[in-house]
Amino acid sequence: MTKRYTLTMYVAAPGTPLKSEHPDATGGTSVAGHVYYVISDGEQRASYGFAPSEHGASSGPGKVYPNDEKTYLNPFYQRKLEITESQYEKLREFGENPQQNGFSMQYQGATNSCIDFMWSGLNHAGIHRNNLLQRPDTNYDGELKPLDNIKPIQSIPAPVPGSPENTEEKGTMPKRTILQRLISEETLPEGHRDMLNAIRDQVADIDQKPGLRPHQRADFRRPARICQGTRHGTCRPCRPWQCAHRWVQSTHVCCPGGVERYRALPRLGFDQ
């Protein structure tokens, strides 16, 4: 029986549920969204996604994660294509050793994220999106926002036209917190990328301050976390229109007892 080789490209929206490593637990939700790809030879599957080695970092050493297909539950979009054996091998080769194939393993949310990784792998395998002239865009490295990569993915000509393996699925947009809407790439206006990265970098700097307890640091999986009051035993997050303590888009948390902690925006790239 002839083997069928397939490629599936996934786009996870901000708010996508994440599965914890523990089988009976959940891992919160994706704040900024994510893209990754999965290949199969009909018998075995391999998942490849790029993210910082240190979860939640905005930049630094990166690594390839082999479990994104299981980690991201119900991603918003996926497109599956039958591909040739040669393309399968190229995608596997790139995913296993991207650096050897010209991809930098230094993660940077603005210029070298999971989006760049996926499109670099596709280009390496000769799978290209079509540009406005309906010609292959061989150097395409993706859009800035995860969800904006859906249309380019849809423009990729099927390597095996008419194959029953060629399918496309679009699900329901997951629920998102206010914070996810504020900082997610999906809602970020054009031209504001530098501002977002500056926020991430400032949060990363604050998180490195000596003496901060774990609950005072940014919790990248739980963006709604607030500080713990120590005087009156109560604490409330500031509303953007109420907060007098301004710091990068009202990220303080004000405690009635006079204890002030910052409520940091998650220092994320596209990996979570």
pLDDT of 211: 59
The secondary element (H helix, E strand) that includes residue 261 is strand 260-262
pLDDT of 66: 96
- More confidently predicted of 173 and 238: 173
Of 63-77, 89-103, 208-222, the range with the lowest mean pLDDT is 208-222
Please tell me the total count of domains within the chain. 2
- According to DSSP, the residues that pair with 82 across neighbouring strands are 6
Q: What percent of the chain has pLDDT over 70?
A: 62
| pLDDT over threshold 70, residue 58 | yes
269 domain residue, yes or no: no
Q: What is the mean pLDDT of residues 205-234?
A: 41
| pLDDT over threshold 90, residue 245 | no
Last residue of a domain, one of 144, 170, 196: 170
Q: 216: domain range?
A: 178-262
| pLDDT over threshold 60, residue 192 | no
Do 42 and 111 belong to one domain?
yes
CA 272/CA 31 separation, integer angstroms: 6
CA 230/CA 245 separation, integer angstroms: 19
256 domain residue, yes or no: yes
Do 85 and 199 belong to one domain?
no
| 72-129 per-position pLDDT tens digit | 999 999 999 999 999 999 999 999 999 999 999 999 987 999 999 999 999 999 999 9
Average pLDDT of the residues of the chain: 75
| 155-174 per-position pLDDT tens digit | 999 999 999 999 999 999 99
268 domain residue, yes or no: no
Last residue of a domain, one of 170, 195, 225: 170
Secondary structure string (H, E, C) spanning the chain: CCCCEEEEEEEECCCCEEECCCCCCEEEECCCCEEEEEEECCCCEEEEEEEECCCCCCEEEEEEECCHHHHECCCCEEEEEEECHHHHHHHHHHHHCCHHHCCCCEEECCCECHHHHHHHHHHHCCCCCECCCCCECCCCCCCCCHHHHHHHHHCCCCCCCCCCCCEEEECCCCCCCHHHHHHCCCCCCCCCHHHHHHHHHHHHHHHCCCCCCHHHCCCCCCCCCCCCCCCCCCCEECCCCCCCCCCCCCCEEECCCCCEEECCCCCCCCCC
Do 40 and 154 belong to one domain?
yes
| pLDDT over threshold 70, residue 44 | yes
pLDDT of 224: 31
pLDDT of 39: 98
pLDDT of 164: 96
Of 1-10, 50-59, 196-205, 263-272, the range with the lowest mean pLDDT is 263-272
pLDDT of 260: 34
151 domain residue, yes or no: yes
Do 124 and 11 belong to one domain?
yes
75 domain residue, yes or no: yes
Do 108 and 149 belong to one domain?
yes
| pLDDT over threshold 80, residue 186 | no
Do 45 and 138 belong to one domain?
yes
- String of DSSP letters for 49-107: EEEESSTT-SEEEEEEETTHHHHB-S-SEEEEEEE-HHHHHHHHHHHH-TGGGT---EE
pLDDT of 139: 92
CA 201/CA 267 separation, integer angstroms: 7
For residue 20, what pLDDT band results from cuts at 50, 70 and 90? confident
pLDDT of 189: 52
State pTM to two decimals: 0.69
| 135-157 per-position pLDDT tens digit | 999 999 999 889 989 999 999 99
CA atoms within 13 A on the CB side of 93: 14
Do 203 and 233 belong to one domain?
yes
Do 193 and 164 belong to one domain?
no
- More confidently predicted of 54 and 104: 104
232 domain residue, yes or no: yes
CA 61/CA 79 separation, integer angstroms: 29
272 domain residue, yes or no: no
| pLDDT over threshold 50, residue 243 | no
Do 69 and 166 belong to one domain?
yes
Last residue of a domain, one of 133, 154, 170: 170
271 domain residue, yes or no: no
Do 92 and 162 belong to one domain?
yes
Q: What is the mean pLDDT of residues 240-248?
A: 31
Do 165 and 49 belong to one domain?
yes
Do 143 and 203 belong to one domain?
no
